[in-house]
Structure 1
Amino acid sequence: MTTPLIIDTDPGVDDAFALALAAASPEVDLIGVTTVFGNVSLENTTRNALRLLALLGRDDVPVGVGASRPLVHPHPHLSSAHGADGLSGYADTLPWPTRGPDPRDAVTLLRDLLDQADRPVTIVPIGPLTNIALLLAAHPGLKPKIGRLVVMGGGVNGGNITATAEFNVWSDPEAARRVLVEEDVPTTLVPMDLTRRCAVSSQWLTDLAGTSPVARTLVGLTPDYLATYRRFLGWDGMAVHDAVAVAEAVRPGLLGGTPFPVDVDCSYGPNRGALVVDRRREVDAPKTLDITMEADLDGLRAFLFERLGALGVRQ
């Protein structure tokens, strides 16, 4: 039996690979996508999500438009590793969708999909957690319908947007704290410590592009992102952060997790958005998160290649 899956996203190059992995995986049934500000503006993330689903032959999936800004403080305007349009300037290489966004906003769409589900739904938030915080605040009675949150975000040993904060958590720390610290929904956190180690090489991308026209289009979205990660990594490759989280949703247990108590720094200082992980084993905490820090990296890359390389076959 397939697992119903919803992806909350801010596409984003690695988000594109994440959506493609969900579309290519028979273990899950992608029943909805919700969009949020983040890598680029909400207008761009929504357009990118719709066009990516068109590329993947999944125009049937409803797309709910979500939050355009964080819960409390305005989002700083910074240049994006993903290019001005979120997809390295190549968003226009994607097909136009056959329909627009769902008339329901993201929270209403999430509510309806959860309410209608006949089995627990996995939600994979791979952008700022604003939509998920709003859902849990407005509709706490629906929490039993959520089988698991698989969240890409946070850095256990430091950040990427600041010295201590990872981009998704930093973008809306108050929302992240609500979801990761205050709520009692089963949650797996996939931090950048692991996703960065799962980076793929430019040769991996070249080989993937040779598998199908769909894969070639997907790889064609990577130039700006790849150029940024060449500097970040110090070698010719790029991280596919969000696809790693979807891989865990597709195959629960693929990533090795350890439960830890956490907090999120919501102060307005240099540590704003930092994930605070208490690794003292003797601590008896009321809530822990399953934080994935280990994986068979070569096996994970092979899994991603196998699934994404089959996209053209599935069209």
Structure 2
Amino acid sequence: MPVPVILDCDPGHDDAFNILLAAAHPSIELLAITTVAGNQTLAKTTLNARRVCSAAGIRGVPVAAGRDRPLHGPRRVAEDIHGGSGLDGPRFGQEEPDVPLDPRGALTLLRDILLTHPTPVTLVPTGPLTNVAAFLLAYPELAGRIERIVLMGGSTGRGNTTPAAEFNILCDPEAADIVFRSGRPVTMFGLNATHQVRATPEVVARIAALGTPLSALCVDLLTYFASTYREVFGFDAPPLHDPLTVAHLIDPSLTELVRAAVTVELAGTYTRGATVVDLHGVTGRPADTEVAVHVDAEGFWRLIVEAVRVLGDGAGPR
């Protein structure tokens, strides 16, 4: 049976590919897309989610806007990586996407789906964890309807926004702390894993060779993404972080996971937002989080290229 999934995201170049992968693959039942402020403001990330769905013919999947700022502290965006629109590169034009915005809002949509879906649902957050934490606080009685939380964020090592902290966790450390301590099964794909799947020129050429409007849009996305990663981090190819979450749900053999205790640093002068991953069990805390440590990069890219091929004519998943 397909895995019932709700994507919670902040598109974002890599989020866009995660939407495509979740919509295209028959082993995923994409129930909804909720958006959060992160890579850009909420208005922009929500528009971007609708733009991606429109371009790929993904219809019938509700898109709802969530929280526009973190639970605590100032809002930050990643304009240096994702541009002023949050999805720079392709020319979407000024026309309104034909995929509408669900009027219920993210938390109400999540509640409605968890109450009515016949089986527990997997949440896949790939931006700041504000929406998920806010939901857990608002509806604790529905936590048991969450099968697991498979997230992109954190790292077993160093960060990418500060020396210690990865962007998604740093945007809302208090929300991340709530999620990791929620008691629901959590699987974490951090920078140590996502940096293993880089969109090399060979990968971009494979997508370009599909020769569809969607593949051309994806090439534009990856070309822009490569330019900012080269300028900001000196990378020769950009890591496509977020789709590792859905790729793992499609084919768990692509990723090696270990169990570890994960703590979010909330108060460190230089380390706020860091994920402290106890890989060697030195703290004595329960090893209650699955942490990705190794990825089959070629298997991952096969899934991505196939998703772009399946959706390439803009007629939606089949």
Q: Is the 8 A contact 1:2 1:27 kept in 2?
A: yes
Name the CA distance, whole Å, in 2 between partners of 1:197 and 1:262: 21
Q: Is the 8 A contact 1:143 1:185 kept in 2?
A: yes
| 1:279 matched residue in structure 2 | 279
**Residues 106-145 of structure 1 mapped to structure 2, 5 A cutoff:** 106-145=106-145
Name the CA distance, whole Å, in 2 between partners of 1:268 and 1:71: 18
Distance 1:12 1:78, change over 3 A: closer
Distance 1:287 1:105, change over 3 A: farther
Query: How big is each residue's C-alpha offset from its partner over 1:100-134, in whole Å with a ceiling of 9 and x where there is no partner?
Result: 31111111111111111111211100000000001
Name the CA distance, whole Å, in 2 between partners of 1:235 and 1:284: 37
Q: Is the 8 A contact 1:254 1:295 kept in 2?
A: yes
| 1:72 matched residue in structure 2 | 72
| 1:244 matched residue in structure 2 | 244
Query: How big is each residue's C-alpha offset from its partner over 1:198-253, in whole Å with a ceiling of 9 and x where there is no partner?
Result: 11202311320221221221222233321122246645421110011121122234
Q: Is the 8 A contact 2:53 2:99 kept in 1?
A: no
| 1:270 matched residue in structure 2 | 270
| 2:184 matched residue in structure 1 | 185
| 1:40 matched residue in structure 2 | 40
Q: Which moved more, 1:244-253 or 1:51-60?
A: 244-253
Q: Which moved more, 1:278-287 or 1:30-39?
A: 278-287
Aligned length: 314
Q: TM-score scaled by structure 1?
A: 0.93
| Counterpart residue identity of residue 200, structure 1 | A
| Counterpart residue identity of residue 186, structure 2 | T
| Counterpart residue identity of residue 75, structure 1 | R
Distance 1:96 1:202, change over 3 A: farther
| Counterpart residue identity of residue 280, structure 2 | R
The CA deviation at 1:72 is 0.8
Name the CA distance, whole Å, in 1 between partners of 2:240 and 2:232: 13
Gaps of 5+ in 2: none
Name the CA distance, whole Å, in 1 between partners of 2:158 and 2:148: 25
Q: 1:124 is paired with a residue of what secondary structure?
A: strand
Q: TM-score scaled by structure 2?
A: 0.92
| Counterpart residue identity of residue 207, structure 2 | L
Q: Is the 8 A contact 1:10 1:35 kept in 2?
A: yes
| Counterpart residue identity of residue 39, structure 1 | N
| Counterpart residue identity of residue 199, structure 1 | R
| 2:104 matched residue in structure 1 | 104
The CA deviation at 1:135 is 0.7
Gaps of 5+ in 1: none
The CA deviation at 1:25 is 0.6
Name the CA distance, whole Å, in 1 between partners of 2:119 and 2:306: 28
Q: Is the 8 A contact 1:188 1:291 kept in 2?
A: yes
| Counterpart residue identity of residue 64, structure 1 | A
Q: Is the 8 A contact 2:214 2:313 kept in 1?
A: no
| 1:194 matched residue in structure 2 | 193
